[in-house]
Chain A
Amino acid sequence: MMHGWYTQFAQLVLVLVMAPLLSGVTRRIRSRLLRRRGPSIFQPYRDLLKLIRKEAVVADNASWLFRIAPYAIFATTWVAAALIPTFAAGLTFSAAADVIVIVALLGTARFFLALAGLDVGTSFGGLGSSREMMFASLAEPAMLLVVFTVSLFAGSTQLSSISTYMAGPDIGLSISLALALIALIIVALAENARIPVDNPATHLELTMVHEAMILEYSGRHLAVIEAAASLKLLLYLSLIACMFAPWGTTLAGNDVVAYAVGLGAYAFKLAVLGFGLVVFETAIAKMRVFRVPEFLGMALMLGLLGAILLFVSRVSQ
């Protein structure tokens, strides 16, 4: 019992500490692929510290919502990231670690972000919020279809049981799982404002979505939002690793060696996924904003097709 608590606490700290490092590593690899030297992998930590020390400038007509939104976004994202079994399963809160809960927590964060974008009343913020909502209306159903497909396999929507099932011997070769994985990757790209959908490295584009919403933020508010954004990237990569590559995770209460193996496997999985993300991003061009619904519609379609094919193979047996 106590092991569960310790591991859960370690997980809370771990995701918070790892998230900026993951952003730093991906930026560094990206620069290298573009034949630039790139900043140090610890640069995101320095950025966050710098932003926290700076004064937070708030627009005159900003309401209380504008001030609490960053903390709400950060809190919901942090809780969602801490619920995913990363290096060890059997955490204290794993009873609550339902995939649908995680989708709902992310939805809450998005809701606050969109409200914050609208709050000050600048045209850019409104634009960003409206686009974010347009994308979300396709990305969220796609995500839920992926969740349904995977949980039909595992017989549960709980993440720890899903990852146990996926690591177990019952799992066969199935096209539904492949379709669900591709759909989840597309959703992850869109949700994290990565390249084919949005450019994370720019503040000065008419087509930006995420940056447009947080344009009015500065100082510690911005620091908190940036931390939440890197947590979200970590969350999606951990979710993919947990559902589709759950090897090496240990159970809470095992010995130290098992924990070390779990941590090492987790770091390795994150590195591989991050590298894949960066290679994909450098290989592909950014889409026009009005192509994005088609891209996300494809994720929705793949999720639906996966569920249908699974249904066929279940019915015919």
Chain B
Amino acid sequence: MTPLETDIAHLLAGSMVLVSFLLLYQDRMSALINIFALHSWVLAFSVAWQAYVQSAPHLFITALIALAFKGVVIPVALHRIVVRLGIHRSIESVVSIGPTMLLGMALVALSIVVMMPVTESAGAFVREDLAFALSIVLLGLLMMVTRRNAVGQIIGFMSLENGLVLAATGAQGMPLVVEISVAFSVLIAFIVIGMFLFRIRERFDSVDVRALDMSRGESA
């Protein structure tokens, strides 16, 4: 890779970490979904750039899948779901933003500390990419932990999956079949979760997942 190509790859992968932070920061529902769409678009560009740089045409298909499913279909479906649930204007945040951001920073630092020593033999960009991918995964997990609303948790899960795709493209070894099946399983997971959303709402009149704790008898 020439320095410029590395720089652009670094720029795109770094932007994904930044957009993950935006997801953590945003507490308005429809803006959250839009930022998730942005996350997937940046992922698609990043994967397409990798496809171009590594001259691996099958990665273009991965990029196209990410763009079509996670950049368009899922955000549009989520917008419809939140409108139908009547929560598209809701604002929510369990832990306040400051501590969450600090925690996210700590997670990014952690993933760098973990990834840098174990990937010493790999090339420069692969190391960077894996460190970023791990931090995106951890930030997605953090988002799932800090959100109380089930839709927020879904978006956390989907952004986590974006991180996995980023890791897979950097590693240069993931077969196309696996990627396609992962993409479809995510879509199926999304459909199942979407159905569950409506079931949860039917039973508890809200998509606040604390209601589930009560039905399990965990808290009064």
Is A2 positioned at the interface, with any CB of B under 8 Å from its CB? no
Residue from the list B14, B25, B125 in contact with A309, Cβ < 8 A: B14
CB distance from B143 to the nearest CB of A (A): 15
Contact of B98 with A316 in the complex, beta carbons under 8 Å: no
Which residues A33-90 have CB closer than 8 A to chain B?
A: none
Q: Encode A163-204 as 1/0 by CB contact (under 8 A) with B.
A: 000000000111110110000000000000000000000000
Taking a contact as CB atoms under 8 Å apart, the answer to whether A298 and B25 are in contact is yes
Measured between beta carbons, the chain A residues less than 8 angstroms from B10 are 174-175, 309, 313
Contact of B98 among A176, A294, A311 (CB under 8 A): A294
Residues of A close to B11: CB separation below 8 A: 173-175, 178
Chain B residue with Cβ nearest A178? B11
Main secondary structure of the interface of A (DSSP, over half): helix
CB contacts between A and B, total, < 8 Å = 60
Closest-by-CB residue of A relative to B120 is A316
The reply to whether the CB of A136 lies closer than 8 angstroms to some CB of chain B is: no
Q: Tell me whether A245 is interfacial, beta carbon within 8 Å.
A: no
- Interface contact B98-A293, CB-CB below 8 Å: yes
Which residues does chain A contribute within 8 Å of B131, judged by CB atoms? 312, 316
Chain A binder among B15-23, B52-60, B75-83, B186-194: B15-23
Decide: A173 and B124 in contact? CB cutoff 8 A: no
How many B residues touch A, CB cutoff 8 Å? 26
Determine if A316 and B101 form an interchain contact, defined as CB atoms under 8 angstroms apart.
no
Check: B95 CB closer than 8 A to any chain A CB.
Answer: no
B112 contacts A308, CB within 8 Å? yes
CB-CB contacts of A268-306 with B at 8 A, as 1s and 0s?
Answer: 000000000000000000000000011001100110110
Q: Tell whether A172 pairs with B101 under 8 Å between CB atoms, given A309-B17, A316-B128.
A: no
Contact with B along A231-262 (1 / 0, CB 8 A): 00000000000000000000000000000000
> Once the chains bind, are B21 and A305 in contact (CB under 8 Å)?
yes
Q: Give Cα A262 to B178, complex, Å.
A: 58
Of B3, B4, B18, B98, which is within 8 A of A305 by CB? B18
Which of B's residues lie within 8 Å of A, judged by CB? 3-4, 7-8, 10-11, 14-15, 17-18, 21, 25, 97-98, 101, 105, 108-109, 112, 116, 124-125, 127-128, 131-132
Check B18 against A173 for contact (C-beta < 8 Å).
Answer: no
Chain A hits for B14, CB < 8 A: 175-176, 309
**What is the CA–CA distance of A302 and B125 in the complex, to the nearest angstrom?**
22
Interface residues of A (CB under 8 A from B): 172-176, 178-179, 293-294, 297-298, 301-302, 304-305, 308-309, 311-313, 315-317
Cβ-defined contact, A294 with B109, below 8 A: no
What is the predominant secondary structure among interface residues of chain B facing chain A? helix
Closest to B127 in A: A316
Question: What residues of B have a CB within 8 angstroms of the CB of A172 in the complex?
Answer: 3-4, 7
How long is the Cα–Cα vector from A7 to B108 in the complex, in angstroms? 46
Given contacts A173-B4, A174-B7, A301-B101, contact A313 B18 (CB under 8 A): no
Q: Which residues of A contact B132 (CB under 8 A)?
A: 312
Partner among B8, B18, B25 whose Cβ is within 8 Å of the Cβ of A179: B18
Find out whether the CB atom of B112 lies under 8 angstroms from the CB atom of A311: yes
- B15 with A175: CB separation less than 8 A: yes
Answer whether A317 and B124 are a contact pair too, CB < 8 Å, given A294-B97, A298-B25.
yes
State whether B108 touches A308 (Cβ < 8 A).
yes
Residue from B3, B8, B109, B128 with most neighbouring chain A CB atoms (10 Å): B128
What are 17 inter-chain pairs, A to B, with CB distance below 8 A? A173-B4, A173-B7, A174-B7, A174-B10, A178-B11, A179-B18, A293-B98, A297-B98, A304-B105, A305-B18, A308-B105, A308-B112, A309-B17, A312-B112, A312-B131, A316-B124, A316-B128
Residue from A176, A311, A313 whose CB has the most chain B CB atoms within 10 Å: A313
Residues of A within 8 A of B4 (CB): 172-173
Chain B residues in 8 Å Cβ range of A179: 18
Given A173-B7, A174-B10, A315-B112, output 18 extra A-B contacts at Cβ < 8 Å: A172-B4, A173-B8, A175-B15, A176-B14, A297-B101, A301-B21, A301-B105, A305-B17, A305-B21, A308-B108, A309-B10, A312-B112, A312-B131, A315-B116, A316-B125, A316-B127, A316-B131, A317-B124
